[in-house]
Amino acid sequence: MTMSVPERKSGSEGKEEESEDESEILEESPCGRWQKRKEQVSQGNVPGVESASLAMDTEEGVEVVWNEVLFSDKKVFKAQEEKIKEMFENLMQVEHPNIVKFHKYWLDMKETQARVIFITEYMSSGSLKQFLKKTKKNHKTMNVKAWKRWCTQILSALSYLHSCDPPIIHGNLTCDTIFIQHNGLIKIGSVWHRLFVNVFPDASVHNKGRQHRDEQRNLHFFAPEY
């Protein structure tokens, strides 16, 4: 008896099928504005975030990131609920040209695990680390003016965060969490990193090991008081 093996698509036909599969809508926000897709994205590791998927903002017609934080215990979630809401309400007030935009959040208790879902701006151009790797590969070096422009934008964003009430400490500012757009605009991502560490100590049991490794690896980026 012979088993038939499914034919594997090749060329443009296979790419089109893969593209259609990734753009499949998996879920929609309660308001209907945000549509979660199958394609996973990486926008810098954030404590507690179980998954980050590409999504569509149907009002603005732009791509965004659909982030999910899972709680294995609903009782733990309920105990933290007010603190979670307060934190996200504060994050929605953060508005700066050099900081990745935080759009919306909502809570979901329908599944077996409680979820916090939040929508952030999608940085399609990639991180500063990726950009510097490309320039090194092409045997190019950035001039002093470019570095000054980048540093000025980063410091402007940090100054804004520290002047918030209460002040926001990033806690994980690395080349992985700094993004650069095609026009040279710098944006800091994961500004909620340190807040998440404090508010989500019991979230997402699946990420505990990875989170600990990331914390150890990035210790030299932490401010001394942490």
Q: What is the pLDDT of residue 144?
A: 92
| pLDDT at residue 10 tops 80 | no
Q: What is the pLDDT of residue 125?
A: 87
pLDDT digits (tens, 9 = 90+) for 57-91: 999 999 999 999 888 778 888 888 898 898 889 88
Q: What is the pLDDT of residue 32?
A: 95
Q: What is the pLDDT of residue 47?
A: 59
Phi, psi of 59 (to 5 degrees): -85, -45
Q: What is the pLDDT of residue 87?
A: 86
Q: What is the pLDDT of residue 161?
A: 92
- Per-residue tokens: 163: 């002047």
Q: What is the pLDDT of residue 9?
A: 45
d(CA 77, CA 190): 22
**Sequence ranges of the domains in the chain:** 26-207
Instruction: Kindly report the number of other CB atoms within 10 A of residue 111's CB atom.
Output: 9
| pLDDT at residue 210 tops 70 | no
pLDDT digits (tens, 9 = 90+) for 85-131: 988 898 899 999 999 999 999 999 887 788 889 999 999 888 999 99
Q: If you classify domain 26-207 with CATH, what class do you get?
A: mainly alpha
Return the closest-CA partner of residue 91 out of 136, 121, 55, 59.
121
| Chain Cα centroid distance, residue 86 | 20
Instruction: Report the Cα–Cα distance between both ends of the chain, in Å, rounded.
Output: 65
Residue 206: pLDDT band by 50, 70, 90 thresholds?
Answer: very low
- Per-residue tokens: 112: 């077996």
Adjacent-strand bridge partners of 187: 179
The CA–CA distances, whole Å, from 148 to 6, 7, 144, 145, 184 equal 55, 54, 6, 5, 12
d(CA 196, CA 164): 17
Residue 27: pLDDT band by 50, 70, 90 thresholds?
Answer: very high
pTM: 0.79
Q: What is the pLDDT of residue 223?
A: 58
